[in-house]
Amino acid sequence: MQADSFLRLGLTGWPLGHSLSPKLHSAALQALGLEGEYRLYLVPPLPEGQEQLKTLVKQVRAGEITGLNVTIPHKQAVLPLVDELTPAARAIGAVNTLYLWDGRLVGDNTDAPGFLADLRRLNFLFEDFGPLRGPKSSNKVLVLGAGGSARAVCYALAGAGWEVTIAARRLEQAAALAASLGGTAQGLKARLLDADSLGGAFALMINSTPLGMFPHPEGSPWPEGLPLPAGAAVYDLVYNPPETALLAAARRTGLPAANGLGMLIEQAALAFEIWTGKAVPRQVLWNSV
C-alpha cells in the first residue's frame, strides 16, 4: 500500500509519552528487513487538535504516511474523515488503523481480533467457551467499563458467542453500549458497577477501564470488600504497570490473571500486516518490550 519502498508509519493520540508502539513496529520492520520508520504524532483532543488531526489524515490520504495507528482520544474523531470503514470499525464505532486501499482511505479496528487472539494465547478462551480453569459450559463474561476500549472488547466477545454483562458507574452508559451492539438479542446486558449489582457466576472478567493505570497503580475498578467472581479468569487491559491492583487481588485469590500487553502486541501485529502484507513473528514483538 506504500507509494515507495520506505514505510512511513506512526501513531496519533494524546498523550503518547509512554507508548510502546514505536518499539513494536521498529522491531517488526527490522525483523522483516523492511526500510521504514514509526513516528509519534501528538495531536491534542478536539476541538483544539481538530485542524491538526485533519492535516495528519490528509497525509495518509496523499500517501505521505503509509499507515497510521489511532489511539485515545481520536478513535472516534477520525470516523468522519475516512472514505470507508471496515465492518468491524463500523460496528465498534471506533478506528485504530488507517490505510489507503485502491485510492480510498480506510478505517479499520484491530483491537477486537487482537483481544481475542491474546485470550486464546492465554487459554482464557476456547471455541466451546470458558477459561482454562472455568466450566466449559459457562459462556458468561463480565466487562467492567463502557468506554472506547469496552466497545471493541464487547463486540469481539459477543461475536464469539459469549453472554456479555457490561458494568459501568453510570447504568445508562452501559445500557447504551449494549444497545449499540445488538442488546439482549446478541447476549449483551447492562448493570451498575457497584457491590449490590455484581453478583453471579462468570467464567471471565475483563477490566476495560483505566483504573489502576500508571501513575495511579493503586486504583481498582472492583468494589472494595466484594469477592471476585469464583473461578473466573481475570484480564486487565491495563499493561502499565504490569501488575495492577486488580490483577494482584486475582492472583491472591488463586484466579488466572493477565494484563493487556498481549492485546497491544496482537493489535499492532495485525495493523502491521494490513500495511505491509507481511506476517510478524510474535516473539519478535514480545522481545522488543
Catalytic residues, by residue number, are 75
Cβ atoms of 285 and 41 within 8 Å: the answer is no
CB-CB neighbours of 189 under 10 Å: 15
Grid cell, residue 80, equals 468522519
CB-CB neighbours of 277 under 10 Å: 8
Which residues have CB under 8 Å from 248's CB, separation 6+?
none
CB-CB neighbours of 106 under 10 Å: 20
- Name the packing angle between helices 171-180 and 148-159 (round to 10°): 50
Grid cell, residue 283, equals 516473539
Distances (CA, A) of 152 to 159, 180, 268: 11, 12, 15
